[in-house]
Amino acid sequence: MIIITENKKNHYLIKNFYDEINKQKLKETRLNQTQGGAHTQFNLASLDNNDTVIDYPAYKDDDTEVIHTDTIEDKVEPEDLEYASKLKSKMKKILNIALGGLTVSSLAASMFFNANLPQQEKEALDLMAHQNNMTVEQMINQSKAKSSQKVAPQTTVKNINSQEKTKKTLTKPIKNKRNDRIKEISIERIKEFENFKPFPYQDRSGVSIGFGTQFMTKGNAGKLKKDGNWKDIIYKKLGYSDAKIKELKKDKKYIDNVKKEIKKYVASIEERIDELEERKNSKVGKTNRYRFPKKERKRLDKKISHLKSRIDAAYDRGVLTLEEAIKCFELDVQEAYNKAKSDFKNAFEKMHLDVIIVIIDMNYNVGLFFLQKVYTDFNKHLVNYSEEIIKEKPDIKKTIAHLKLAAKEISPKGAPTYYRQNRDRATENYKLLLGVIEELEASINENNSLKNIYKNLFS
């Protein structure tokens, strides 16, 4: 397969998309199973987005396929989208568009597949609609109509065998799909913000572990030892009984697994240290002159020292397995989600998805009662926003005004402490709210444009 794209960002999106699909195909061929594994994450920020790229992957197909994103022929096959939907359920929506006879380009499919935020998914759908010369709404409606026509003849055949499956599908409320999506996005998003540490570490208000799971509100992480009882708190959080905890501590298989995870974690840190050492000591050509100035080399030294302290902490304090850390993390995200739902009750289902995602992240990161105890003005404006949207005829201008005031409260000027502690995270949350405001303002402009068109036509 040869991938030809306009820039490196698009190239990596498409390459990641097809790499994951090929892994799934290989997995099904070898193991005859349909479950997806972990997905490769790419850091696109450092790429030169103006480079044209031609990539020759390591694997070879019998018939070399050329993907050129500038040609009309660039179209993802439904079979590939079916594999993609096994890896990420949201891809079923794109599969339905393709089954409806519409064009799904490799770039649009890749953008949707790799998207972690609703705005990114919207951009992918906008591109698909543009490539099919229609609006997103027209594209979705047409795909539903055509796919239902294709499926109709088969439904008369599959009756008895599919009845039970159909019942299970129909009994699930539609609104749960949205709520599941909110949790799915929150999990992926928060995981990216949190630096995984399998050992206990000190945070602002206690001791945390894994993906930011706080399990002690008091105490000194440096004094915890691998043979201590601190893990009992985690086991209780996971719902283990006293009998199971005793059994686990004697389980040789579990103990060996923990040792393997420590070795794996340490190896990954040592690899990073080697990279930084090489960078710090690199010289210009064959001279003895260092490539980087003294200030940069001191900064690298501090980073190396910090990474070495992580290795010491892992050995001295002990670690959680990745599986345990993920379970704790998902419980915490669920708790943050439940608090957001409880705070906004009936309005929760009508709130913009991105607004909810910001609240869930801040519940997780700042604290479950951050709205009531820390950012009370932010809370006040969100309450006003929620009360407006549940009205029989909500005023969109008032809705925007409430959101603008809320966004101001978590802006760099409105929340300097938040930015000092979590600059990247705070910036992303602020941008997400601004995106909602822009979207609502655009809908007003669109409605005004339509009114003007009708006025000119019929006046």
Q: β-strand 213-216 against 206-210: which pairing, if any?
A: antiparallel
Which pLDDT does position 166 carry in this prediction? 33
What's the rounded mean pLDDT across residues 234-252?
94
Q: Residue 270's pLDDT is what?
A: 96
List beta partners, residue 2. 66
Section 159-169 average pLDDT: 37
pLDDT at 282: 94
- In this prediction, residue 286 carries a pLDDT of 87
pLDDT of residue 3: 57
pLDDT tier, 268 (very low <50, low <70, confident <90, very high otherwise): very high
- What gap in Å lies between CA 133 and CA 74, rounded to an integer? 16
Query: Which residue(s) pair with 206 in the sheet?
Result: 203
State the DSSP code for 198. E
**From 105-109, 386-390, 455-459, the region with the lowest mean pLDDT:** 455-459
Residue 46: pLDDT over 60: no
What is the pLDDT, as a whole number, of residue 72? 45
| Rounded Cα distance, 360 and 353, in Å | 11
Lowest average pLDDT, out of 24-38, 228-242, 280-294, 434-448, goes to: 24-38
Q: Would the pLDDT of 40 be above 90?
A: no
Q: Whole-angstrom Cα distance, residue 395 to residue 392?
A: 10
List the beta bridge partners of residue 54.
4
Does the predicted model carry a pTM greater than 0.85? no
Give which of 436, 363, 448 is closest to 406, Cα–Cα: 436
List the Cα angle 93/346/180 in 5-degree steps. 30
Predicted local confidence at residue 380, as pLDDT: 97
Q: Which residues of 402-415 are buried (b: 16+ CB within 10 A; e: fewer)?
A: bbbbbbbbbbeebb
Question: Distance between CA atoms of 119 and 5, rounded to whole angstroms?
Answer: 22
Higher pLDDT, 163 or 363: 363
200 pLDDT more than 90: yes
pLDDT above 50 for 47: no
Of the two residues 50 and 196, the one the predictor is more confident about is 196
Q: Are strands 206-210 and 66-68 parallel, antiparallel or unpaired?
A: unpaired
Q: Where are the domains of the chain?
A: 2-173, 195-320, 351-458
Q: For position 10, what pLDDT does the model report?
A: 75
92-106, 224-238, 293-307, 365-379, range with the lowest pLDDT: 92-106
Confidence category of residue 334, pLDDT binned at 50, 70, 90: very high
What digits encode the pLDDT tens for the residues 306-331? Answer: 999 999 999 999 999 999 999 999 99
99 contacts 86 by C-beta, under 8 angstroms: no
